[in-house]
Structure 1
Amino acid sequence: MKFNNLFVVDDDKVHHFIIKKLLEKNNIQVNPCFFENGLDALSDLKAKLNETENLPDLILLDINMPVLDGWQFLEEFSEIRKNVLKEITIYVVSSSEDYFNSDKLEQFKSLIAEYYVKPMTGDVIKKIFT
């Protein structure tokens, strides 16, 4: 699958920097948007609902964030999903594997395509984008 628009939803600025560098280093042509919490990402998503070309193809979603965490984001996303006119792939990226064994994961398994543990690496980025 070809991803053109990427949302990185994570409160960790270092993670943002790492993703930017990995994309550059691996010559991956994608339009990334960075958000520090789920609420900002959801607001942007809702604002773009009618312009499918600007919607993300892929969301890299952290779980542990202020304001609106990853689980809350997924809850809201599952509500607006029926209004989204394009397929959006969601990968959960977390610094703790504990989240990958939770009941929440079971609840949202229809929304989550893949899980990765931070820090992201060149190999993971290549696997995602090629």
Structure 2
Amino acid sequence: MKFSNVFVVDDDKIFHFLIRKLLLISNVDINPAFFENGLEAIEGIKSKLKAGENPPDLILLDINMPVLDGWQFLEEFKSIRNLLEKEIIIYVISSSDNSEDRSRASDFKDLIHDYYLKPMTVDNIKSIFNL
């Protein structure tokens, strides 16, 4: 699948920098939008819908964030999902290898395509973008 509109939802600025570098190294020609918490990302999706713009094709979602964490984002996302005309691919990207988090991710298996551990690598990016 070709992704053109990507949201990166993570409160870590270093992760934002790393994702930019990995995309560049992997020759992925997209300009992702960065959000520091789940609430900003939900509002970003809603504002795109309201403006008649395409919502993101792909969301890279952290779990542990202030304001609205990844789990809360997914709960909110469920409530607006029916407004979307297309499926949005969501990958959880977390520093947590906690079995509880992995188990909880399986509760959202209808939304989450995969669960990646930080730090992200070129191979992870290639896998996500089917390179």
Name the TM-score class by shorter chain.
over 0.9
Q: Secondary structure at the match of 1:92?
A: strand
Partner of 1:43 in structure 2?
A: 43
Structure 1: 5+ residue stretches without partners: none
Structure 2: 5+ residue stretches without partners: none
Amino acid across the alignment from 1:21: K
Q: Compute the displacement of 1:85 (Å).
A: 1.2
Amino acid across the alignment from 2:97: E
TM-score by length of 1: 0.93
Q: Compute the displacement of 1:31 (Å).
A: 2.5
Quick one: distance in 2 between partners of 1:25 and 1:105?
29
Partner of 2:16 in structure 1?
A: 16
Amino acid across the alignment from 1:101: R
CA contact (8 A) 1:6 1:31 kept: yes
Amino acid across the alignment from 1:24: L
Aligned length in residues: 128
Q: Compute the displacement of 1:52 (Å).
A: 4.5
Q: Compute the displacement of 1:109 (Å).
A: 1.2
Quick one: distance in 1 between partners of 2:108 and 2:13?
26
Q: Secondary structure at the match of 1:113?
A: strand
Amino acid across the alignment from 1:20: R
Amino acid across the alignment from 1:78: K
Partner of 2:102 in structure 1?
A: 101
Partner of 2:117 in structure 1?
A: 117
Q: Secondary structure at the match of 1:7?
A: strand
Quick one: distance in 2 between partners of 1:15 and 1:42?
20
- Does 2:20 align with 1:6? no
Q: Deviations over 1:29-71 (max 9, x none)?
A: 1130000000001101011125353x11000000000000000
Q: Deviations over 1:83-121 (max 9, x none)?
A: 01121000000001115433x323211100111000110
Most deviating of 92-101 and 73-82 = 92-101
TM-score by length of 2: 0.92
Q: Compute the displacement of 1:14 (Å).
A: 0.6
Quick one: distance in 2 between partners of 1:52 and 1:107?
30
CA contact (8 A) 1:52 1:86 kept: no
Q: Secondary structure at the match of 1:31?
A: coil
